[in-house]
Amino acid sequence: MQYSEIKTDLGIDSDIFADDWDLSAPSQSGVYAFITKESVQALCEALMFENDIRDAFINALPLFDSEPVRRLFWHCHWLMFKRGVPYPRDRFVQWPLLTMQSGDHADMFYAFLFLSGALAVSRAHEALRIPRDVTVETLSDLAVWMRTHRERTGRIGISEKNWLYNHYTIKLFRLGRLQFLFEEFPHSVTVYRSRAHNGVVMLAPADVKFRRDGQYDGIMGVADPKAATTSFEETDNAWKGNTITPEGGITAKTATLKKSEWDLILKKGDPALSFHIAATGPMDHAQCGESFARARDFYPRHFPEYGSRCFFSVSWLYDHQFDGLLPDTSNIVKLQRELFLYPLPEAGDKQHWERIFGKRYENINDAPQNTSLQKTFAAHVKNGGHWRSSGALLFPEDIRWGSAVYREKR
C-alpha cells in the first residue's frame, strides 16, 4: 500500500510516517511472525509481564486485522528496529497517536510497537554484556505506562510513547528504584572540588537576578524589589562568583576559588546521567541509595567511554520548602539531604499539582487534603506560599548514602 492510502484509511493528518516508506516494503511480511498469540505471549513471558498486560496484548490482536494498520505497524517497527541506524528522536516525537478510526484497539498500537522491539533491545543489551535482570527491569516500564494510560483514560494502551523511546534506543536503564538516562548537563551552574578537603562549591552564572530567598527573581510571578544580581568571573588564576547552598539557594556571598587549589568538575554540556524515580511504589530511601551505588558501578563497566560527570534531576521533589514542612522521616526530605540542590530560572509548580493531586485546582479548598503531603501543600498555598521545582545533583564519588555529604562539608 502507498502511504497516501494509509493516511486516508487511518485518518492520519501528517506525512511524518512517510520516512523511507518504500524501503520497508520488501520485508513487510515479517509482521506476520509477530502478530500471533503465541509470539505475543512468549514475549510477555520473557519480560515477566503480569497476566493483565499479557491479556491486554492478546485481546488487542484484532487491531492487525486491518491491512493499513499492519503495513503502518511494520514500517514503524522497521524504522525503529530494522533500519540499521537509530531513528531520530526529533522525528519520533512527531509520530501522532492513532485514533479510533484505526480500530477499537488503537491505543495499543505503540504498546505493540515497543513489545515488538524487545528482542532487538535484548540483543543490544547482550552485546554490551548487560545482565538480563537489568533488561527485564528496564523494559518493565512498558507495563507501567500501559496501566497509567488505563488509569487516565479507562482504556489500556500507551500515550507516553516519547518517554519509552529512551528505553528502546539503549539510552535509559532501570537499576532498582531509579532510572538513568544518558543526557548532557543542561544548566548554567558550575561546580568545583577542593583538592585539599574534597568538598564542592557551586557557583551561579553571571547576571542573574535573584530574590532574597535565593530563587531566581520573577519565578511563579514573585518579584523581589530588593533582588540582587550575580557576578561571575574567570581569570587565569581563579574563578569568582556567587555561591549556591546545597539547599538550593543563590547567596549574596561570593567565593574566589584558586585554580591551584580547586578543579572545575561540572559545567553545562558535560556528559551526565539524569535520574528518574520509576512510577512504581513508594520512594524508599534505602532503595534509592542502592540504585545510585549500582549506577556508579554499572556505567563505567558497560559504557567506559561515556565518562559521566554526575547524576542530576529536575523535579518537584527537590523543592527545598518541603524540608521543614514535612517531618525528618519523610522520604522526600531524606532524599533531598543526600543531594546538592540548585534553583531553576524556569521553576514552576505544575509537577507538584500533577503528582500530589492529579490535576491543578483553581481553588485550593477544592483540592483533596487526605494525605500529609496534600495537607502540607495546601497549607503552604493558603499561607501565601508558592511551590517551585528545583534541580538536584550527586557526584558518583560522593555517594555515601545516609551521610548527607553536601550538608557536612559547608
Q: Are 373 and 326 in contact (CB under 8 A)?
A: yes
Alpha helices in 192-342 (DSSP H): 285-302, 322-325, 331-338
Q: What are the helix and strand counts (H, E) for the chain?
A: 18, 14
For residue 58 the three cell numbers come to 492478546
Residues 6+ apart with CB under 8 A from 304: none
- Name the residue among 333, 276, 25 with its Cα closest to residue 144: 276
What's the pLDDT tens digit per position in 86-119? 899 999 999 999 987 777 899 999 999 999 999 9
- pLDDT of 409: 58
Among 339, 322, 335, which Cα is nearest to 288's?
Answer: 335
Which residues of the chain are modeled with pLDDT < 50?
A: none
Q: Are 249 and 213 in contact (CB under 8 A)?
A: yes
181's enclosing H/E stretch is strand 178-184
10 Å Cβ neighbour count for 219?
20
End-to-end Cα separation, the chain, in angstroms:
66
- Give the global pTM: 0.94
Nearest C-alpha neighbor of 130 from the set 175, 81, 166, 86: 175
User: At a CB cut-off of 8 Å and minimum separation 6, what does 272 contact?
Assistant: 183, 184, 185, 266, 308, 309, 310, 311, 312
For residue 100, the model assigns a pLDDT of 78
Q: How far apart are CA 271 and CA 269, in angstroms?
A: 7
* Bridge partners, 391 (sequence order): 314, 342
Instruction: Give yes or no for a contact between 356 and 399, defined as CB atoms under 8 angstroms apart.
Output: no
Q: What is the pLDDT of residue 84?
A: 87
Compute, in degrees rounded to 10, the torsion defined by CA atoms 34, 35, 38, 40: 80
To 10 degrees, what angle do helices 285-302 and 331-338 make? 40
Query: Cell 530563587 maps to which residue?
Result: 215
Asked if 261 and 250 touch (Cβ cutoff 8 Å), the reply is no
- What stretch of H or E contains 73? helix 67-77
Give the model's pLDDT for residue 30: 85
